[in-house]
Amino acid sequence: MTAAIVLGIGSPFARDDVGWQAIDLLEASGLCARHPGCTLAKLDRPGVSLLDAMRGYAQAILVDAMLTDDPPGTVRQLALDDLACLHSTSSTHELGVAETLALGERLDLLPPRLDVLGIRTGDSLPRGWGIRLAGELDEILSTTS
């Protein structure tokens, strides 16, 4: 099993590109150079293909936009139960991340470790949000290495 994949989820078209922006920033930060076996990838509104993207990894970290009352740029680590509460308003995807992960859980298709990071979007993200995100991912990946 390969170590970990960090998946930026979103779309370059629907102002839902924060997951993609995150992957660009993480590539520039050298995250995977610091964590051998780490892979970065972008997914465009994946639906159930999200399950295929995680197959074969010991850990998957999903980075996606979330709509909450938090200030723009807030990064939250979410549990699957949290996603169930947010799913109706937190995703612009047809079959959202929450529903796909619930399906994967029922079918036993999720990786052994799954982390979900939601980033509160807005008209503009504050300076430094990518640095905070890279720090959180360094911490998550360090606890599983």
For 87-108, the pLDDT digits (tens) are: 444 454 467 888 899 999 999 9
CATH of 2-144, one of 3.40.50.1450, 3.30.360.10, 3.90.580.10, 3.30.590.20: 3.40.50.1450
Pairing of strands 57-66, 113-120: parallel
Question: At a CB cut-off of 8 Å and minimum separation 6, what does 125 contact?
Answer: 18, 21, 72, 73, 119
Residue 75 and residue 18 in contact, taking contact as beta carbons nearer than 8 Å: no
Q: pTM for the complete prediction?
A: 0.86
pLDDT in tens, 104-119: 999 999 999 999 998 8
